[in-house]
Amino acid sequence: MTYKVVVSDTKVMDGETRAAVLDAVDATVETIAAKEPAAVARAVKDADAVIVDAGTQVTAEVIDAADSLKVVGRAGIGVDNIDVQAAVEAGVSVVNVPEYSVEEVSTHTFALVLACLRKIPTFDRSVKRGEWEWAVGQPIRRLAGSTVGLVAFGKLASRFAAKLRGFDVDVIAYDPYAPEYRMGDLDVESVTFETLLSDSDIVSLHAPLTDETRGMIDADALDRMRDDALLVNTARGGLVDETALYDALVSSDLGGAGLDVREAEPPGDSPLHDLDSVVCTPHVAWYSEESRVELTQTVTEDVIRVLRGEAPENPIDLETGWF
């Protein structure tokens, strides 16, 4: 039997690895640029499997339109762009790559923290203008002795917490779904969301985007944070109200922000880009050559398992909470 596999992302996935894995079955691969539900629905109508990135919407409309669809593979961790309920009800498996880019994202989070804290972009621009002046970065606070607050405590946050060891910082976390003993293993204190906001010098976001978490960093949350605190987001852009973030930064109610993910991607002409206190990267925390190959192999092999009638290794559970 020949299977049809539709792939919506060629940037994240390594084409050579994908081809090598799919050679294990009789499959044709069609690459699409569609992102919106109506276009995706047309593209997957006769597909047996679809592999998507974070920007491709697999809604109930898409599931209903796909007559022979057996599996949706998410090339990444978060599945907020997939209607998992509709898929399960239609008998369609949903798989992801839960261990994907844990090393890369935790490292990138640390890089954004240090870039913001040490004002690296500000100094870089200054030197390239021909200046040689330490004061352009004032004020700079010491990392040692500070408190780092983690919003959610899954695999990524846990790895970041491990990397913070040895830097003489206190680490606290808010996650209503993570057992306290898991935090205790890394000397992380479990606190309420309100306590995390008020006590942290650095707030790092690691939560998935759900109805519960969307816009959780709003004007009220930012008002609870310290005036010199840093906000770092390598999770999902929708967690942060960017208008409220801009207002907090220009009114000196927040010290700075490191953003790898945005409400809209690409973000266009955002006023945040005019602020020296904001360090931005283009949703690249996931990337290394190694993570790209690992991602492609893991998600494609699980898709093949489902097509063969086997149980996938990384199925999405409807009861899954935060990552």
Task: Judge whether residue 190 has pLDDT over 90.
Answer: yes
130 & 270 share domain: yes
User: Which residues are known to be catalytic?
Assistant: 236, 265, 283
Helix residue ranges per DSSP H, the chain? 15-22, 37-43, 60-65, 84-89, 102-117, 120-128, 155-164, 180-184, 193-199, 219-224, 242-250, 289-307
How sure is the predictor about 15, in pLDDT bands with cuts at 50, 70 and 90? confident
Q: Are residues 152 and 19 in the same domain?
A: no
Q: What are the backbone angles phi and psi of residue 96, rounded to the nearest 5°?
A: -140, -165
57 & 127 share domain:
no
Same domain (yes/no): 91, 120: no
140 and 260 both lie in a single domain: yes
Is 319 exposed, middle or buried, given 0-12, 13-18 or 19+ CB atoms closer than 10 A? exposed
Q: Rounded to an integer, what distance in angstroms lies between the CA atom of residue 217 and that of residue 222? A: 6
Is 109 found in the same domain as 47?
Answer: no
**Residue 108 and residue 204 in one domain:** yes
Question: In CATH, what number is assigned to the domain containing residue 48?
Answer: 3.40.50.720
- pLDDT tens per residue, range 70-121: 999 999 888 989 999 999 999 999 999 988 899 999 999 999 999 999 999 9
Average per-residue pLDDT for the chain: 93
Nearby residues of 28 by Cβ (< 8 Å), 6 or more positions away: 2, 3, 4, 5
Name every residue whose Cβ is closer than 8 Å to that of residue 76 and which is 6 or more positions away in sequence.
12, 53, 54, 96, 97, 100, 101, 286, 295
Question: What per-residue confidence (pLDDT) applies to 14?
Answer: 77
Judgement on whether residues 219 and 259 belong to the same structural domain of the protein: yes
Q: How confident is the model at residue 128 (pLDDT cuts 50, 70, 90)?
A: very high
Q: Which of 204-208, 234-238, 281-285, 292-296 has the lowest mean pLDDT?
A: 292-296
Instruction: Provide the 3-class DSSP secondary structure of residue 227.
Output: coil
Structurally, how many domains does the chain consist of?
2
Q: Is the pLDDT score of 263 beyond 60?
A: yes
Handedness of CA 318, 237, 239, 137 (dihedral sign): positive
Q: Does one domain contain both 150 and 215?
A: yes
pLDDT band at 63 (very low <50, low <70, confident <90, very high): very high
Judge contact between 276 and 57, C-beta under 8 A. Answer: no
Residues 227, 117 share a domain? yes
In the structure, what pLDDT confidence band is assigned to residue 180 with cuts at 50, 70 and 90? confident
Based on the domain organization, do 157 and 52 belong to the same domain?
A: no
Task: pLDDT band for 320, please (50, 70, 90 cuts).
Answer: very low
Strand, helix or coil for residue 315? strand
Q: What is the pLDDT of residue 322?
A: 38
What is the pLDDT, as a whole number, of residue 318?
66
Per the structure, the complete domain to which residue 183 belongs is given by: 102-280
Tell me, yes or no, whether 234 and 311 share the same domain. no
Q: Helix 102-117 and helix 155-164: axis angle, to 10°?
A: 50
